[in-house]
Amino acid sequence: MTSTTVSARPSAGAPAPQGSSTSAPRDPRRRKRILMACGGALVAFAFVAPYLVMVLDSLRTSSDVKSTPPSILPKAWQWDTYAQVLGDERFLAWLKTSLIVATGSTVIVILVAIPAAFMTARHRFPGRGAFLLLVLVTQMFAPTSLVVGLYRQFFELNMINTYGALIFTNAAFNLAFAIWILHGFFSSIPLEVEEAAALDGASRWQILRRVMLPLTLPGLVTATIFTFIAAWNEYVVALTLMIDDDKKPLTVGMRAYITGYEQHWDQLFAASVIAVVPVVILFAVIEKHLVGGLTAGSVK
Q: Say if residues 296 and 220 touch (Cβ distance below 8 Å).
A: no
Q: Is residue 62 part of a domain?
A: yes
Q: Do 218 and 127 share a domain, yes or no?
A: yes
- What's the pLDDT score for residue 290? 57
Average pLDDT per run of 10 along the chain, which is 300 residues long?
48 51 63 88 89 87 75 82 90 93 95 89 76 77 83 91 93 89 86 83 82 85 89 92 90 86 84 88 74 47
Domain count across the chain: 2
Q: Do 186 and 285 share a domain, yes or no?
A: yes
Q: Is residue 174 part of a domain?
A: yes
Q: Is residue 17 part of a domain?
A: no
Q: Do 64 and 157 share a domain, yes or no?
A: no
Q: Do 243 and 269 share a domain, yes or no?
A: yes
Q: Say if residues 111 and 297 touch (Cβ distance below 8 Å).
A: no
Q: What's the CATH code of the domain at 181?
A: 1.10.3720.10
Q: Do 112 and 158 share a domain, yes or no?
A: yes
Q: Do 161 and 65 share a domain, yes or no?
A: no
Q: Which residues form the domain of 53?
A: 34-79
Q: Is residue 135 part of a domain?
A: yes
Q: Do 119 and 143 share a domain, yes or no?
A: yes
Q: Is residue 197 part of a domain?
A: yes
Q: Is residue 6 part of a domain?
A: no
Q: Do 111 and 204 share a domain, yes or no?
A: yes
pLDDT tens by residue, 115-167: 888 888 877 777 777 777 777 777 777 778 888 889 999 999 999 999 999 99
Q: Do 105 and 247 share a domain, yes or no?
A: yes
79, 103, 138 - which closes a domain:
79
- pTM (predicted TM-score): 0.78
Q: Do 50 and 151 share a domain, yes or no?
A: no
Q: Do 233 and 98 share a domain, yes or no?
A: yes
pLDDT tens by residue, 38-53: 998 999 899 888 888 8
Q: Is residue 185 part of a domain?
A: yes
Q: Say if residues 176 and 138 touch (Cβ distance below 8 Å).
A: yes
Q: Is residue 13 part of a domain?
A: no
79, 97, 112 - which closes a domain:
79
Q: Do 202 and 248 share a domain, yes or no?
A: yes
- What's the pLDDT score for residue 51? 87
- What's the pLDDT score for residue 296? 46
Residues 6 or more apart whose CB falls under 8 angstroms from that of 31 comprise: none
